[in-house]
Structure 1
Amino acid sequence: MGGWHLMDLQNLGRHSSWDGVRAVVAGFGVSGAAAADNLLFLGAQVTALDERVDVDVERAELLETLGATFRLGEGSTAVLPDDVDLVVTSPGWRPDAPLLAQAAARGIPIWGEVELAWRLRDPETAAPWLAITGTNGKTTTVQMLNSILAAAGKRTLAVGNVGVPIVEAVMDPTPYDVLAVELSSFQLHWSSSMQAESAAVLNLAEDHLDWYTGSDAMAAYARDKAKIYHQVERACIYNVNDPQTEQMVIDADVQEGARAIGFTLGMPGVGMLGLVEDILVDRAFIEERATSAAELCTISDLASPAPHFVANALAAAALARSHGVSRTAIRDGLIAFRPDGHRIATVAQHNGVTYVDDSKATNPHAARSSLAAYESVVWIAGGLAKGARFDELVAAMGGRLRAAVLIGADRELIAEALSRHAPDVPVIVLGDGETGADSIMERAVAAAAELAQAGDTVLLAPGCASMDQFANYGERGDKFAEAVRRLGG
């Protein structure tokens, strides 16, 4: 290591002198650029490394004029420089990446942007963090929570894995009242100091098993998710219908007085939020919770009645209630909230068939949640499975399928699961043929339209990542919508 001892680094914060700290920023994406920028501002010596050359060139040039060093292009991250005190890594980097493995071997601390941001909060004005993770629904829930907090008159921001990098938010000269923080398992992996005011794990299912490898991959993924509950101050929010999330709370080392609060799509017990018929209710944050529940809003107040959407609303409401937000603000915030595109978005109706874009369903758990919202579905699925399996999904949802149209690199994986667990469901497997994004989705939508009957939903819920055939899940959803519109002239 360089001139800084490990002990000195552990004490570095917003008002410390960073002069002489030699920091390597691994990856110059959105979070990496924010980290490099603010480390420079604090007085550190910064070297930024990235295998890509198509980074934010304008920002890189500006930081270079301020004293940063850049190494970009193939091979630039293979070797860690000699004089390094600290590595700040982008979340997508796996621990076995050569640069990070070298840092670990040399005993150099590795922080993620979340760890850096937590340390850079101003102790005088630091906004509490309401943190959310889970395999699916993170972004929607964080945006719902942000809408609720805004309705309560708070100066708030959705940050982390969505929106603004957390480092930029904590370094803002005008302090926020509270931050709604979305955290991926990757971000949590590189975090150790964070202590959220309240935190929620929405669900846990197979995902990112191309990042977590080995026989205990799923356990490692779960361990990283569970870190969100570390030293929580007020409330650990868990999914009553997902026992793994409750076990994480039971195992967590929290601050004295922190409560375990469940959310459920059933009738809530004491200390939970849930449903009474079509009403979202609070039986956790009211004085009379032993005998009654308080209305928050109705399902019809929400942008979608889909079960997973309602569950997200309950989780967001639980976090807001733990922060002291009124029931009126919960209702107002949820009424005002509209999800981003490509999340259970109805595109059109033709000949009695509804066409729904849920391109954001990029893993089997998300696709299963989406399928559960509809009675009779022609399912368009496929893409890059990232090591996930589809047997559990098909076994649970096969009864809802009118037919399936499969595309993408891992289409046969889904076809095999369908043949095992839903052998009577008609399946069309589209080969690469015409490989353009337009043509593949055009063929998929046309095939689905042929199979659909009045009252059915043609649902794009791929259960897979998109990068084999599309730039991203957004382009995939856009191509679906364009093909649907052409279908109706």
Structure 2
Amino acid sequence: MGSGQVTDWQGKHVTVAGLGVSGVPAAKVLHGLGARVTVVNDGDDARAREQAAALEALGVTVRLGDGATLPEGTELVVTAPGWQPDKPLFLAAERAGVPVWGDVELAWRLRGTVPGKPVAPWLCVTGTNGKTTTTQMLASILRAAGLRTAAVGNIGVSLLDAVLGEEPYDVLAVELSSYQLHWAPSLRAHSAAVLNLAPDHLDWHGSMEAYARDKGRVYEGNQVACVYNVADKATEDLVREADVEEGCRAIGFTLGTPGPSQLGVVDGILVDRAFVENRRESAQELAEVSDVNPPAPHNIANALAAAALARAFGLPPQAVRDGLRAFTPDAHRIAHVADVNGVAYVDDSKATNTHAAEASLAAYGSIVWIAGGLAKGATFDELVARSAGRLRGVVLIGADRALIREALARHAPEVPVVDLDRTDTGAMLQAVQEAARLAQPGDTVLLAPACASMDMFANYNKRGDAFAEAVRELGAGA
């Protein structure tokens, strides 16, 4: 099974690695195409058994509690994106010369197999932070131009559904994680953006170099534009290293004044000096900074990246403006919860790593910062050193809060710190009360934990909900 389309799946022996949100649909699709499908899964809990029973009723073979052994006769492995590359199953596949695809690769190979359905180009977005927001902004801009589209991939509609379903699309806005890109060797986008690069998921990739290399795969074979972040040289380096189609251009985005072949900001206006007739001497106004919701610096960068991909696809300036105006960010992303006693309370529970938290902290002048959780191997010295001048005070929660406390002691010793020695869900109410005590009118109390949530909450959504509930309780007593 090389890099070309697989047109005949009849009787192909495919092993699907992992149940869950990508494994189950992949198994069903492959079975429906006539493949002999075996699903292997590490876990053997009640949920896995329930999913296994449904697949077995269709005629799919399922092996629970044994995700390490490659089934005999396997010709292809299709894996859930989260499975690490060093798992024994993949090492066995490599030894046997069996290719490994992810769900994105499978969807890419299956484009064009539905009779009468147009093959939609992919506009792809990756990066350490901002992927979901940028992809949703892009979809909003595409819709504003009257195009049939969807935000897919790591969010929204599943890519397999988008490719194989009845809904015809003109173009797809595709969010891709580093995991998904690792397992998508033949993906070739119309245009793609890498928003930023910061250490994340290094336990999975093994090194920062390997992480960056997987992110950079999104540029391979791009047709029209490789969009990079002028402020993050590593993203431009990935463009330089990519093997793209003849005529594909490097397009930068910047929060400053753009040079030729860049999009940027001039006097509160988002402008394009890349997709205009005379980019050396002229620029096209696209939208106002006030059209971006919220107009925090990192979100303006997201908007510029989305605009660059839309312009690469040939969209007019008005679509960019109308799409940005119509866009509403997801919950827990720089969400203003309430003002209480002259203090703004902002929920950015989605800031689950230091890079995201730094962008969030940069959006406000005087902050009482609520931080902490599971550090995932992160260090906090750089984040604290860069943000120290904005901190009125800090309230720490969660299992790894000592790591942040120690960084504060080194780089911001004058900032008052409240260390809450508890990891129960009720800690959030106390954290908000302590933050209110430290805050002064005009300040922002910001939940930007720089950590994962699973030590205290089911996910970052639940953490943000707890923050919002605590703020409402505080307001009720104000």
How far apart, CA to CA, are the structure 2 residues paired with 1:407 and 1:449?
Answer: 15
Corresponding residue for 1:19?
Answer: 10
How far apart, CA to CA, are the structure 2 residues paired with 1:57 and 1:221?
Answer: 33
SS in 1 for 2:173: strand
How far does residue 100 in structure 1 lie from its aligned partner after superposition? 2.1
What is the percentage of aligned positions where both structures have the same residue? 63
How far does residue 421 in structure 1 lie from its aligned partner after superposition? 1.1
Matched, 1:277 2:270: no
Matched-pair contact (CA < 8 Å) for 1:132–1:181: yes
Choose the corresponding residue for 2:404, options 407, 414, 439.
Answer: 414
Corresponding residue for 2:445?
Answer: 458
Choose the corresponding residue for 2:424, options 414, 436, 445.
Answer: 436
SS in 1 for 2:38: strand
May I ask how many residue pairs the two structures share in their alignment? Answer: 472
How far apart, CA to CA, are the structure 2 residues paired with 1:315 and 1:230?
Answer: 18
How far apart, CA to CA, are the structure 1 residues paired with 2:226 and 2:5?
Answer: 28
Give 1:250-289 correspondences, 5 Å limit. 250-289=240-279
Summarize deviations over 1:178-234 as a string: whole Å, max 9, x none.
000000000111111010000000000011122123xxx111100000000001000
How far does residue 107 in structure 1 lie from its aligned partner after superposition? 2.1
Matched, 1:189 2:176: no
Corresponding residue for 2:35?
Answer: 44
Q: Which moved more, 1:134-143 or 1:279-288?
A: 279-288
Matched, 1:400 2:390: yes
Corresponding residue for 2:298?
Answer: 308
How far apart, CA to CA, are the structure 2 residues paired with 1:57 and 1:485?
Answer: 41
How far does residue 431 in structure 1 lie from its aligned partner after superposition? 1.1
**RMSD value, Cα:** 1.5
Choose the corresponding residue for 2:433, options 418, 423, 446.
Answer: 446
How far does residue 173 in structure 1 lie from its aligned partner after superposition? 3.0
How far does residue 59 in structure 1 lie from its aligned partner after superposition? 5.9
Q: Which moved more, 1:289-298 or 1:270-279?
A: 289-298
Matched, 1:355 2:348: no
How far does residue 305 in structure 1 lie from its aligned partner after superposition? 1.2
How far does residue 484 in structure 1 lie from its aligned partner after superposition? 0.8
How far apart, CA to CA, are the structure 2 residues paired with 1:418 and 1:436?
Answer: 23
How far does residue 56 in structure 1 lie from its aligned partner after superposition? 7.3
Summarize deviations over 1:73-117 as a string: whole Å, max 9, x none.
xx3213222221111111111111222222223221111111111
Give 1:89-488 correspondences, 5 Å limit. 89-122=79-112, 125-213=118-206, 217-432=207-422, 435-437=423-425, 439-488=426-475
How far apart, CA to CA, are the structure 2 residues paired with 1:173 and 1:338?
Answer: 27
Choose the corresponding residue for 1:68, options 60, 67, 80.
Answer: 60
How far apart, CA to CA, are the structure 2 residues paired with 1:274 and 1:54?
Answer: 51
Summarize deviations over 1:239-286 as a string: whole Å, max 9, x none.
000011011111111000001100000000011100001111111111
Summarize deviations over 1:285-313 as a string: whole Å, max 9, x none.
11132212111111111211100110000
How far does residue 175 in structure 1 lie from its aligned partner after superposition? 2.8
Residue type of the partner of 2:19? F
How far does residue 369 in structure 1 lie from its aligned partner after superposition? 0.2
Return 5+ residue gaps in structure 1 as ranges: 1-7
How far apart, CA to CA, are the structure 1 residues paired with 2:46 and 2:212?
Answer: 33
How far apart, CA to CA, are the structure 1 residues paired with 2:429 and 2:46?
Answer: 31
Residue type of the partner of 1:474? N
Summarize deviations over 1:3-38 as a string: whole Å, max 9, x none.
xxxxx454443xx11111111111111111221111
How far apart, CA to CA, are the structure 2 residues paired with 1:322 and 1:196?
Answer: 12
SS in 1 for 2:189: coil
Matched-pair contact (CA < 8 Å) for 1:209–1:388: no
Matched, 1:31 2:31: no
How far apart, CA to CA, are the structure 2 residues paired with 1:328 and 1:398?
Answer: 40
Matched-pair contact (CA < 8 Å) for 2:150–2:172: yes
Q: Which moved more, 1:63-72 or 1:476-485?
A: 63-72
How far apart, CA to CA, are the structure 2 residues paired with 1:55 and 1:293?
Answer: 55
Matched-pair contact (CA < 8 Å) for 1:28–1:55: no
How far apart, CA to CA, are the structure 2 residues paired with 1:132 and 1:371?
Answer: 23
SS in 1 for 2:369: strand
SS in 2 for 1:314: helix
How far does residue 146 in structure 1 lie from its aligned partner after superposition? 0.4
How far does residue 61 in structure 1 lie from its aligned partner after superposition? 4.0
How far apart, CA to CA, are the structure 2 residues paired with 1:457 and 1:476?
Answer: 18
Residue type of the partner of 2:470? A
SS in 2 for 1:221: helix
Residue type of the partner of 1:481? A
CA, structure 1 residues 140+426, in 2 after alignment: closer, same or farther (shift >3 Å)? same
SS in 1 for 2:368: strand
SS in 1 for 2:204: coil
How far apart, CA to CA, are the structure 2 residues paired with 1:393 and 1:277?
Answer: 29
SS in 2 for 1:211: helix
How far apart, CA to CA, are the structure 1 residues paired with 2:137 and 2:51?
Answer: 31
SS in 2 for 1:236: strand
Summarize deviations over 1:406-460 as a string: whole Å, max 9, x none.
111211111111111111111111112xx431x1111111111111111110000
Matched-pair contact (CA < 8 Å) for 1:376–1:457: yes
Summarize deviations over 1:60-81 as a string: whole Å, max 9, x none.
5443222111223xx3213222
Matched-pair contact (CA < 8 Å) for 2:84–2:204: yes
CA, structure 1 residues 83+463, in 2 after alignment: closer, same or farther (shift >3 Å)? same
Summarize deviations over 1:350-402 as a string: whole Å, max 9, x none.
11110000000010000000000000000111111111111111111110011
CA, structure 1 residues 327+394, in 2 after alignment: closer, same or farther (shift >3 Å)? same
SS in 1 for 2:252: strand
Matched-pair contact (CA < 8 Å) for 1:29–1:55: no
How far does residue 50 in structure 1 lie from its aligned partner after superposition? 2.2
Matched-pair contact (CA < 8 Å) for 2:19–2:51: no
Residue type of the partner of 2:171? V
How far apart, CA to CA, are the structure 2 residues paired with 1:384 and 1:463?
Answer: 9
Corresponding residue for 1:4?
Answer: none
